[in-house]
Amino acid sequence: MKKSKIRVNFNNMMKHRLGSYGISEMDIKNLSSKINLAIKNLKQKREDGKLGFMYLPYDTKTNEDIKKVSSIVKDRFENLLVLGIGGSALGTIALHKALKHPFYNLLPKEKRKTPKLFVIDNVDPEVANGIFDVIDIKKTLVNVITKSGETAETVAFMKIIWDKLIKQVGKNKLRDHIVITTDKTKGALRKIVNENGFISFTVPENVGGRFSVLSPVGLFPLACVDVDIDELLKGAEYMDSFVTINNVWKNPAFMSALLHYIADKKFGAKITVMMPYSNALKDISDWFAQLWAESLGKKYSNDGKIVNEGLTPVKALGATDQHSQVQLYNEGPYDKVITFIRVENFKKDEVMPHNFKEEETFSYLSGYSMADLLNIEQRATEVALTKNKRMNMTITLPEISEFTLGQLIYMLEVETAFMGELYNINAFDQPGVEAGKIATYALMGRKGYKEKLKDFNLGKEIKRYII
């Protein structure tokens, strides 16, 4: 049986389409030694066990554990409340939106079948308060996800929920309502798991938050809403057979990274737009934005030079953003690479009826389906951009399924890791968020941080600079 492979088409990045605004095969050839070094380094990192995310597709044991727990809890609860932020939330949100009904939480129980899903990924006061108007906490399972076990935003909401659970279900029933996903041994949350006998899952030590969607971080909540997690992993495994090919011309992750790298270094294109033509795939851009921004936005190179590298991810949605961003993409600065995601076959569709026969401005649409129109608009936008010499590429999904999304997620992760090698930066740390964390602690007067307050004094505030 032929498998549904996703495809990357980069004709519209190249010279034969864009002339002097495009990339030539010579540009790629000129980078051979850099490419070979990047391939070698990445391979070495994998062999050294540093790229934990590349082991996830093969972790069948964890997968079985997840399915065991999720199969029990999913029928017992009306709501699943995920507490997590950044990498602990974005993958779950993206895949849930991609794979489930577009109005999932509004569906009646008999159509929905599995619990309503709420992912709380902010310390928003109105959300923290409002959530209790729409969920009965006695019928809610809470999945607390933080790798470090001490992420402020996640802990903040957990403290509130904890209190309410104890009041409403009692302290001895607490553990029926809580599943914790955190580090295997470190952090306060693991201690609490051990002390209370909570059900828990592990975020592998060598898997960073933004690469963790195919670990229990994403897989447990997704399994609870009947996403086929076996197929997700099979998709990732299938993609693994392509992204380990050493020839960049056969490796979609390497080639895609390389094209973005050249677009930046040769043309100064520092903005990466991801523009799926499908509402279901909208939040994949959000997940990708974190992956790309946190991995590649770095001050120092691996050899300690100040480089201030980074491509800025921009989220767009077709066809909607044709009426918003596309004017800029067609006519603004030549500072972007636009990646379309296109779906060949949609699960559901609606055909436009043959009404308004007298009105040509309406009737030309008759007989086309929504999917037809959407894909024609994608094609039209791609063509217009290419005619305007704007670099763009298209990832095609044969359909939206666990198998194709597993491929997509995994390909983009490997692409990001490879980008790190090309830029000669560490794609796996995030030193640039530390200062903000410390400033938060200092401003809150947390023990041991008060004396840091002086480091965060910005000096005098000029009154006429406030209007």
- Asked if 81 and 118 touch (Cβ cutoff 8 Å), the reply is yes
CA pair distance 449, 441, nearest whole angstrom: 6
Annotated active-site residue 126? The verdict is: no
**For a second copy, the closer CB: 66 or 157:** 157
185 binds a second copy (CB under 8 A): no
- Asked if 418 and 317 touch (Cβ cutoff 8 Å), the reply is no
- Site track 250-269 with a second copy (rule: CB under 8 A), x = hit: xxx--x--------------
Helix (H, G, I), strand (E, B) or coil at 159: helix
DSSP string, 424-444: TS-TT--GGGHHHHHHHHHHH
**For a second copy, the closer CB: 37 or 370:** 370
49 binds a second copy (CB under 8 A): no
337 binds a second copy (CB under 8 A): no
Q: How many residues does the chain have?
A: 467
156 binds a second copy (CB under 8 A): yes
Give the Cβ contact number of residue 136 at 10 Å: 10
329 binds a second copy (CB under 8 A): yes
Give the Cβ contact number of residue 142 at 10 Å: 23
Q: State which of positions 106-135 bind a second copy (CB under 8 A).
A: 106-107, 111, 121-131, 133-134
Q: What is the DSSP letter of 20?
A: G
- Side-chain half-sphere exposure of 422, counting CA atoms within 13 A: 28
**For a second copy, the closer CB: 35 or 85:** 85
Phi/psi at 292 (5° precision): -70, -50
Scanning 64-72, 213-221, 225-233, 374-382 for contacts with a second copy by CB under 8 A, the matching segment is 374-382
**Applying CB under 8 A, which of residues 48, 303, 359, 451 lies at the interface with a second copy?**
359
* Structural element, H or E, at residue 202: strand 199-202
DSSP string, 384-397: HHHHTT--EEEEEE
328 binds a second copy (CB under 8 A): yes
Q: State which of positions 268-297 bind a second copy (CB under 8 A).
A: 270-271, 278-280, 289-290, 293-294, 296-297
Catalytic residue among 111, 323, 447, 460: 323
**Among 147, 140, 176, 183, residue whose Cα is nearest residue 161:** 140
- Asked if 212 and 205 touch (Cβ cutoff 8 Å), the reply is no
Q: State which of positions 74-93 bind a second copy (CB under 8 A).
A: 85-87, 89-90
For residue 229, the minimal CB distance to a second copy (Å) is: 21
Annotated active-site residue 270? The verdict is: no
* Structural element, H or E, at residue 292: helix 282-296
For residue 64, the minimal CB distance to a second copy (Å) is: 30
For residue 190, the minimal CB distance to a second copy (Å) is: 12
174 binds a second copy (CB under 8 A): no
Annotated active-site residue 437? The verdict is: yes
For residue 193, the minimal CB distance to a second copy (Å) is: 13
Phi/psi at 62 (5° precision): -60, -40
30 binds a second copy (CB under 8 A): no
**Among 121, 148, 52, residue whose Cα is nearest residue 283:** 121
461 binds a second copy (CB under 8 A): yes
Q: State which of positions 420-459 bind a second copy (CB under 8 A).
A: 430-433, 435-437, 439-447, 456, 458-459
**For a second copy, the closer CB: 200 or 322:** 322
Catalytic residues: 294, 323, 437
